[in-house]
Amino acid sequence: MEPIEVAKSYLSSFSKGDADFIAQHVDDDFENIHTSALGEPCTGRTTYRNNLNGFLEKFQGISYELEEAVANGERVFTSYMMRADVDNTPIEIKGVFFFHISEGLIKRRVDYFDSLTFLKQMGMSDGFGEK
């Protein structure tokens, strides 16, 4: 499978809500990097898989709508709209993933999204500080 197809499959896998299925897309030494203050980075498929349980529980009905994907060899950039319900509050967050994909598995994922967008949608910030 071409790297861009792996990235697309990974994004669509979240809509199933199955942590094992999602984790099948990543390498044993997977690096999960977040640039957002609210993100939780980790290393390794096993740790990532274990973290997915809490993530999927918190972000009910999560889906990533692919907006654009660009590939250059093993490097894939995707922009997305993430949708979910958190504590019965619908959220929508735009972001981008930068992937390094080799041999059909994601080796590294860097996630860029604005934490303030999440906090505002959850009613936790007015944009100038905490409420």
Domain-embedded: residue 65: yes
Q: How far is CA 23 from the centre of its chain?
A: 12
pLDDT tens digits, 79-113:
999 999 999 999 999 999 999 999 999 999 999 99
Q: 11 near 80, Cβ under 8 Å?
A: yes
**Contact status, residue 94 vs residue 49, Cβ threshold 8 Å:** no
Q: Answer yes or no: is 130 within a domain.
A: no
Pairing label, strands 89-102, 75-86: antiparallel
CATH of the domain at 76: 3.10.450.50
d(Cα 19, Cα 51) in Å, to the nearest integer?
9
- The model's pTM is 0.92
Q: Determine, yes or no, domain membership for 29.
A: yes
Residue with tokens 């274990």: 50
> In which band, very low, low, confident or very high, does the pLDDT at 127 lie, cut at 50, 70 and 90?
low
Q: How many CB atoms lie within 10 A of CB 28?
A: 9
